[in-house]
């Protein structure tokens, strides 16, 4: 029997201490739902909102999330003083909050609204701020509304601690405090990868998903359009949560039926093009692996657009290591405009392609110029799981009463390999299944053979998983990372020489696509585990579990693509990426190297120089160089830092530093420092 020294008394109940990291976790274990705004079990303890305050005998009122449970503690969670504190906190938050709740996208799902109702806050004694800050709608993925921010810091911590990007932080003090990107810029003008994890943890509507539903409704009601949908595998194990089902409840037939009832003409499965991705990516990997080229190994997966953008921005030296395969979403879009329109006898311009995805970064991906070969995007609109649920409700459809329907063919049949793409490790496992068959053929077993299908080493919730497998007599070293913070760890180990890999799978969101920001909230670890298990269960129930066994994929190659990595497949299913290091939306070349035969001009864009106008200097010099037709003679680039901050902004021309430069000095410097050097050569 447990002694009293190992117990905490909570509202008269004896609660055992069993490794909880703080008193809040112990109290919740006792079945008491203490309210919080700023607490997430997967983030650091912040203790800002003070909603979880308790009274501890001998210590007074204190935030329970900041206190370690101690044996013998006597805790009260529901005294009159505590209720008054919580009500006051909510009133103060509401006083500084845009209270136009009726038209808010989070109405009915807002934590502030929910707690105001729970604690009986029916009026606010404090005046409301008249200042309205502008919305940030600069990205296709997410929207920032600073007027609804309650300064809980959840977005700041998830961006920094989980994703390692850190593009949001607190600025100013007191009543002027706000969460913002650097220098008050819009998200499109900083290094946001548009993963949307900030939106997934935001308790209000301060950060939300940029909705595409109006555009989709417009297309559905256009009689000239043939509206087709593709549905990602992670959607089917999460959509039910929006209609009262437990996480992991999967009924893809109802998803298809709902889309048909909404007005979609055809509904296909993105898992089909996930199978296609496996075939192409496996062929690419085996080609690289056979060549043994250290410059091209490890091969990184390229299915996650937030990860691709992260590499473009922070690690362009690894762009050549990214698989050239388009993501399943974009492969589908490419095939829809070509193969599918031909098979269905539909003009490509009359087809409106909609993706239903668990991910916000897919909205950004669909707008990339690489995926609009004729000026029109291959994918017209991307909706999240949340947006699909909203459309179902708007259409008045009783989701549970729907009769199941099947995905349409030919792009509607998938193997288990394509379905596990939604889980972290799923892409790697699907490639391993294909590679093992190619490197270790078992002709006696045939399709659906008993060769190993499950690779446990790449499954699980760990941030980084590593494995060394023997395939065809060769050792294959691989790593799987989910969250960009975990990916950064892997890259650091590679750079330091601590680790070496042949294949690396990266997904930006915790848990992979099942934890995407477009999924129903909350999306914490236990929820993600249930969604992941459901996808693995779906895989287990499939008769075909290897991508290259999909008969419709084989038919696609026979009729249209030819062979993996062939001319047709490479033109339609592959792409390339470039560096995205930039300032203020402009592509800027960064360099620390001199270029032979050219005048080297570096403009410092460190903080001090930037704040004093160095970006305008860089743009001005770029204009002068372009106007003079000297691009091939001047190596103009942004750089950090000349350690001369007190005399900023600074420019270096051929090794000479020119300080305290102003915009009116641009013409003089161009003539005296750059043109004169060219004339002397």
Q: What is the set of active-site residues?
A: 281, 284, 303, 323, 362, 365, 370, 513
Three-state DSSP at 491 gives helix
Quickly list H helices, 239-360. 252-262, 270-291, 305-314, 328-335, 341-343
Helices 484-496/305-314 angle, 10° precision: 50
Q: What are phi and psi of 668, to 5 degrees?
A: -65, -45
Residue 405, CA atoms < 13 Å, CB-side half-sphere: 19
3-state secondary structure of 48: coil
Cα distance between residue 17 and residue 317, in whole Å: 49
β 226-231/351-357 pair status: parallel
3-state SS, 408-439, equals: CCCCCCCCHHHHHHHCCCHHHHHHHHHHHHHH
Query: Beta strands 178-180 and 169-171: pairing type?
Result: antiparallel
**Residue 537 carries which DSSP code?**
H
Please tell me the total number of residues recorded for the chain in this structure. 681
Using CA atoms of 482, 488, 491, 496 in order, give the dihedral in degrees to the nearest 10: -140
Find, among 540, 282, 530, the residue nearest to 419 by Cα: 540
| Tokens found for residue 176 | 């002027």
CA distance 318 to 298: 9
How far apart CA 21 and CA 68 sit, in angstroms, is: 6
* Distance, CA of 556 to CA of 335 (rounded, Å): 10
Burial 17-31 (b: 16+ CB within 10 A, else e): beebebbbbbbbebe
Instruction: Quote the distance between the C-alpha of residue 518 and its chain's center.
Output: 9
Contact between 673 and 656 under an 8 Å Cβ cutoff? The reply is yes
Per DSSP, what are the bridge partners of residue 178?
Answer: 171
56-to-16, 379, 458 alpha-carbon distances in Å? 16, 57, 45
Q: What number of helices (H) and strands (E) belong to the chain?
A: 23, 23
SS3 480: strand
Is there a cis peptide before residue 16, judged by omega within 30 degrees of 0?
Answer: no
């Amino acid at each position: 029997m447990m002694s009293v020294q190992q117990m905490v008394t909570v509202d008269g109940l004896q609660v055992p201490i069993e490794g909880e990291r703080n008193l809040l976790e112990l109290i919740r274990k006792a079945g008491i739902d203490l309210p919080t705004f700023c607490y997430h079990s997967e983030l650091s303890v912040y203790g800002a909102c003070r909603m979880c305050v308790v009274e501890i005998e001998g210590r007074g009122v204190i935030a329970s999330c900041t206190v370690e449970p101690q044996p013998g503690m006597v805790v009260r969670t529901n005294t009159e003083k505590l209720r008054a504190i919580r009500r006051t906190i909510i009133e103060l938050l509401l006083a500084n909050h845009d209270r136009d709740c009726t038209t808010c996208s989070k109405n009915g799902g807002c934590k502030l609204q929910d707690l105001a109702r729970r604690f009986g806050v029916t009026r606010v004694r404090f005046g409301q701020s008249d200042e309205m800050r502008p919305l940030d709608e600069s990205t296709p993925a997410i929207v920032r509304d600073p007027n609804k921010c309650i300064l809980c810091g959840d977005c700041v911590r998830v961006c920094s601690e989980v994703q390692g990007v850190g593009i949001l932080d607190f600025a100013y003090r007191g009543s002027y405090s706000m969460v913002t990107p650097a220098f008050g810029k819009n998200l499109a003008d900083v290094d946001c990868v548009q993963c949307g994890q900030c939106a997934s943890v935001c308790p209000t509507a301060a950060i939300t998903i940029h909705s595409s539903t109006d555009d989709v409704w417009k297309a559905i009601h256009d009689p000239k359009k043939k509206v087709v949908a593709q549905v990602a595998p992670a959607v089917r194990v999460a959509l039910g949560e929006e209609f009262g089902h437990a996480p992991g409840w999967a009924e893809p037939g109802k998803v298809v039926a709902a889309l048909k009832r909404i007005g979609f003409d055809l509904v296909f499965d993105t898992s089909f093009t996930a199978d296609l991705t496996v075939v192409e990516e496996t062929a690419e990997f085996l080609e690289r692996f056979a060549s043994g080229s250290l410059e091209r190994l490890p091969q990184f997966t390229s299915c996650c657009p937030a990860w691709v953008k992260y590499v473009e921005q922070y690690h362009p030296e690894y762009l050549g290591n990214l698989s050239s395969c388009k993501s399943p979403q974009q492969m589908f879009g490419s095939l829809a405009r070509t193969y599918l329109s031909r098979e269905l006898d539909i003009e490509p311009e009359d087809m409106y392609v909609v993706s239903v995805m668990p991910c916000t970064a897919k909205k950004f991906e669909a707008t990339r110029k690489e995926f609009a070969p004729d000026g029109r995007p291959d994918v017209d609109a991307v909706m999240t799981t949340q947006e699909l649920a909203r459309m179902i409700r708007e259409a008045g459809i009783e989701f549970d009463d729907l009769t199941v329907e099947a995905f349409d063919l030919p792009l509607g049949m998938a193997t288990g390999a394509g379905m596990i793409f939604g889980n972290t490790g799923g892409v790697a496992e699907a490639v391993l299944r294909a590679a093992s068959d190619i490197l270790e053929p078992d002709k006696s077993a045939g399709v659906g053979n008993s060769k190993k299908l499950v690779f446990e080493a790449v499954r699980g919730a760990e941030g980084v998983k590593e494995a060394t497998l023997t395939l065809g007599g060769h050792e294959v070293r691989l790593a799987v990372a989910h969250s960009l913070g975990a990916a950064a760890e892997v890259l650091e180990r590679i750079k330091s020489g601590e680790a070496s890999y042949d294949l690396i799978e990266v997904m930006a969101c915790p848990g992979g696509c099942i934890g995407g920001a477009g999924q129903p909230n909350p999306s914490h670890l236990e929820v993600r585990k249930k969604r992941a298990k459901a996808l693995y269960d779906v895989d287990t129930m499939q008769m075909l579990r290897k991508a290259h066994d999909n008969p419709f994929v084989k038919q696609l190659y026979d009729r249209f693509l030819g062979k993996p990595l062939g001319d047709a497949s490479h033109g339609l299913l592959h792409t390339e990426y470039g560096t995205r290091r930039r300032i203020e939306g402009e592509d800027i070349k960064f360099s620390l190297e001199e270029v032979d035969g050219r005048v080297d001009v570096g403009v410092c864009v460190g903080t001090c120089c930037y704040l004093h106008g160095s970006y305008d200097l860089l743009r001005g010099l770029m204009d002068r160089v372009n106007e003079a037709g000297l691009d091939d003679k001047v190596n103009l680039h942004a750089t950090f830092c000349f350690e001369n901050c007190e005399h900023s902004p600074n420019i270096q021309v051929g090794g000479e530093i020119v300080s305290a430069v102003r915009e009116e000095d641009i013409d003089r410097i161009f003539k005296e420092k750059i043109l004169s050097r060219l004339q002397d050569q």
